[in-house]
Amino acid sequence: MDNKKRNKYKELIIKTIEEIKTDIKNLEEQTKPIAPDNAIGRLSRMEAINAKSVNEKMLGNKRIRLTRLENALKKADSEEFGECVLCGEEIEENRLKLIPESNTCRECAQEAENSR
């Protein structure tokens, strides 16, 4: 990968990290402890609990993605960035644009998915 491309992906990773951090902050706000029954009423409390568990799941996923992005950023200057860790081929550009933290090519990712 040439430096121009590399810098483009680095920018993309940094931008995505910023976005995810904002998302995490918002989700953290939304997963705070829920007020007791008498404060918000029984039905809305149940709704709040449901929404909270959805948000907690999303928060978990975002945190995992943030770690992956930060690792990708650390690796972005090395030769192996943009190469599949499984087969060593270059990762497709469309895939990197969509998931700049990916460390496997589409084929290997699919294989890993299938063998789960």
Distance from C-alpha of 55 to C-alpha of 61, rounded to nearest angstrom: 10
50 to 89: interface string for Zn ion, x by CB under 5 A: ----------------------------------x-xx--
> Is 96 a residue that touches Zn ion (CB under 5 A)?
no
How many residues touch Zn ion (CB under 5 A)? 5
Q: Look at residues 105, 75, 87, 106 and name the one whose alpha carbon lies nearest to residue 6.
A: 75
Residue 16 or 102 with smaller CB distance to Zn ion: 102
Least CB distance to Zn ion at residue 35 (A)? 49
Distance from C-alpha of 38 to C-alpha of 99, rounded to nearest angstrom: 45
Burial class (CB within 10 angstroms; exposed 0-12, middle 13-18, buried 19+) of 100: buried
Least CB distance to Zn ion at residue 104 (A)? 5
Q: Do you know the residue count of the chain?
A: 116
Least CB distance to Zn ion at residue 109 (A)? 8
